[in-house]
Amino acid sequence: MSGRSRSWLFRVTLVVNAHLRPKQLARPLAIWLATRSQAPGSLKCFLGALKMEITKMAGVSLKRGSLAVEDNDSVAPAEEAKRQKVSECHLTTGQDRLENDSPPNSENMPEAVSAGKVIKTSAAQLEEEEEDGLSEEGDEEEEAESFADMMKHGLTELDVGITKFVSSHQGFSGILKERYSDFVVHEIGKDGRISHLDDLSVPVDEEDPSEDVFTVLTTEEKQHLEELQLFKNKETSVAIEVIEDTKEKRTVIHQAIKSLFPGLETKTEDREGKKYIVAYHAAGKKALANPRKHSWPKSRGSYCHFVLYKENKDTMDAINVLSKYLRVKPNIFSYMGTKDKRAITVQEIAVLKITAQRLAHLNKCLMNFKLGNFSYQKNPLKLGELQGNHFTVVLRNITGTDDQVQQAMNSLKEIGFINYYGMQRFGTTAIPTYQVGRAILQNSWAEVMDLILKPRSGAEKGYLVKCREEWAKTKDPAAALRKLPVKRCVEGQLLRGLSKYGMKNIVSAFGIIPRNNRLMYIHSYQSYVWNNMVSKRIEEYGLKPVPGDLVLKGATATYIEEEDVHNYSIHDVVMPLPGFDVIYPKHKISEAYREMLTADNLDIDNMRHKIRDYSLSGAYRKIIIRPQNVSWEVVAYDDPKIPLFNTDVDNLEGKPPPVFASEGKYRALKMDFSLPPSTYATMAIREVLKMDTSIKNQTQLNTTWLR
């Protein structure tokens, strides 16, 4: 290491010393030392990992952590409120989302993907394991298994039935999400328009209070008012002295309190010759979730719709942040679909009775967020109303020739890709989510409990590992629960249920987990069956419709008859997810379904469960998806850090688009395409690159690349 590097590292160490214990500094430092000579951008990796550790120690933790449930299906408002609380622990499902949104169909499962999952992950993505955060000192300094070692226990595509390609071109490699800004998602609304953030102006409304409402209260006064609003103090009111006593000043203070702290009312009082504005509760704890009615103009729609631009945050994280700054409950927000974390995403959000003016003020307070395109509407947004998403994806450092790229992209445009459920559907550890789902369907509740709680190989947070070890040792739910700093994960919820209902009533204990997350497991099993059956269908009959295949007429599935085969293409063919309300193809694949379910001790003719929630009605899914609006460009670049296209915010700020040289050290494939709901962008990218998208495979590729 050069003297300059040592000096730099010493200064950084001094800066972070106040924030991190040695164990926390060790991880990012190890990444840098391991990769500084071999991998380009190793300094960036160190800084990224270092920033992660500081954030974990010092930041306000609103992040969802390990269970990033992406559910655009079958979520009632009450379930949605519960869903926001399930976080932090559960790594048997994935985490950062790469995919499109699912419609509100009870047969779809939440979509989520683990950090650094697809194609070659960058070095900075390899170290996303959390500090356990349980004991301050005296911990044994265990040498942690590397992420790559842990992922040796993970699933491959073969394990979940993803085996076929539809194109004939030769595959090549590339790095997806080397920078999160290499993956941009724009929502396609129900009217077919792609959402863009292109207007930050606020609708003019004479009913809105003045801008002074945001500055008239001191930080201390805001803190006291927030504590009052959230019932965190013993006082029943907060009094604020009016220093410059004028009617105008009093009016602004009244407006500020009512606007910034929903649920509080105000009155003016004289105390010993001084004027005070007294804030107090009017409607009790319900006021937070139901903003005051009388302060909203009757002529204005009850919902403010806006476009949310966010970077490196998933949708629920973003809404938690917005609700915190607005001091309201998250369940007054609505949206049509959840979006990726490790990406730049643009989507429409609606919020009940919060003014555009107040929302626009957040642009001054928040980093990595931008709100704009405000309008007032009568109705909220509903999950599944969107038509899909438009993706702009950069694959960096590609190895394919121009001819290979041309063949791959032409095939994607003309034929499409197999509509597999992606790897993120099945989890990142040695115990896939579909195994839990199968045990639920078999009514094997002791096995359900065991699969969720027992120790397993794979990437998990330290405190969750300790929780599992305690459970294996004592089978004491209360003792295992004490090992979890965050109780609202699937494991924590189940342990709390077992403590409450006892070990002999696992069904009731499992029922404490929000319905949406319980259904995730059985939907994972359906997806596992569907992937395997589609691979068999393509192997048996290829890419043409055959008699006995299924197509949809409206919402009804019908068989293709011999004389009608020429009226259909492979893009019309659907296959069922198993359930009691579907029909199966009239050819060899029907028997394959039966054999697979029989091997799993399930009766394909009776998919109703003793517990209604777990009865599967089934659904139909197209076997081949052809993306729309497909375009691509191969560009040369020298600096891995430069962005390769402009975002909406870049355009708002008037930044010129990047200019590319004809030659460069690296080549990147920039591609644009639109997908309908409930399809996986990773599966489209898999078809282009012809690479296994599992974490197990990608981390092995990555560590090879780092050498």
Of 71, 208, 340, 648, the active-site residue reads 340
Backbone φ and ψ for 479, nearest 5 degrees, come out as -65, -40
> Could you give the CA distance from residue 178 to residue 374 in angstroms, rounded to a whole number?
33
Q: Which of 426, 443, 369 is nearest to 161 (CA)?
A: 426
572 given a catalytic annotation: no
Beta-sheet pairing, 369-377 with 303-311? antiparallel
- For tokens 């931008």, name the residue: 370
Name residues whose C-beta falls within 8 Å of residue 508's C-beta, 6 or more positions apart in sequence: 497, 501
- Contact between 548 and 587 under an 8 Å Cβ cutoff? The reply is yes
Residue 341 φ then ψ, to 5°: -90, -65
Which among 49, 56, 54, 51 is positioned nearest to 19, based on CA atoms? 54
CA of residue 148 relative to chain centroid, distance: 23
Six-digit token string for 468: 């599992």
Which region holds residue 261: left if phi is over 0, alpha if psi is between -120 and 50, else beta?
A: beta
Place of tokens 């590729």: 701
Is the CB of residue 682 less than 8 Å from the CB of residue 690? no
Element (H, E) at 441: helix 433-441
Cβ proximity of 578 and 603 under 8 Å: no
Using CB atoms within 10 A of its CB, is residue 145 exposed (0-12), middle (13-18) or buried (19+)?
middle
- The encoded tokens of residue 136 equal 């301050």
Strand residue runs (E) in 512-656:
550-553, 556-559, 573-577, 619-622, 624-625, 628-637
The token pair that represents 322 in the structure block: 């917005």
Angle (deg, nearest 10), helices 42-58 and 3-17: 10
Q: Which residues of 399-416 are buried (b: 16+ CB within 10 A; e: fewer)?
A: ebeeebbebbbebbbebb
Q: What is the signed CA dihedral for 142, 147, 152, 156, rounded to 10 degrees?
A: 150
Enumerate the β-bridge partners of residue 389.
187, 675
Q: Which two tokens stand for residue 455?
A: 């120790």
Identify the three-state secondary structure at position 263.
coil
347 and 195 Cβ atoms separated by less than 8 Å: yes
As given in the structure block, the two tokens for residue 577 are 């997810």
Of all helices (H) and strands (E), which one includes residue 316? Answer: helix 315-326
| One-letter amino acid of 259 | S
The full 3-state SS of 371-402, as one line of letters, equals EEEEEEECCCCCCCCCCEEEEEEEEECCCCCH
- Angle at 353 (CA atoms; ends 348, 356), nearest 5 degrees: 60
Helix axes 681-689, 402-414, angle to 10 degrees: 140
d(CA 349, CA 244): 39
Kindly give, in sequence order, each residue whose CB lies less than 8 Å from that of residue 534, ignoring residues fewer than 6 positions away: 161, 164, 418, 419, 420, 575, 623
**Alpha-carbon Rg for the chain in angstroms:** 27
Nearest to 307 by CA among 379, 199, 385: 199
Active site residues: 340
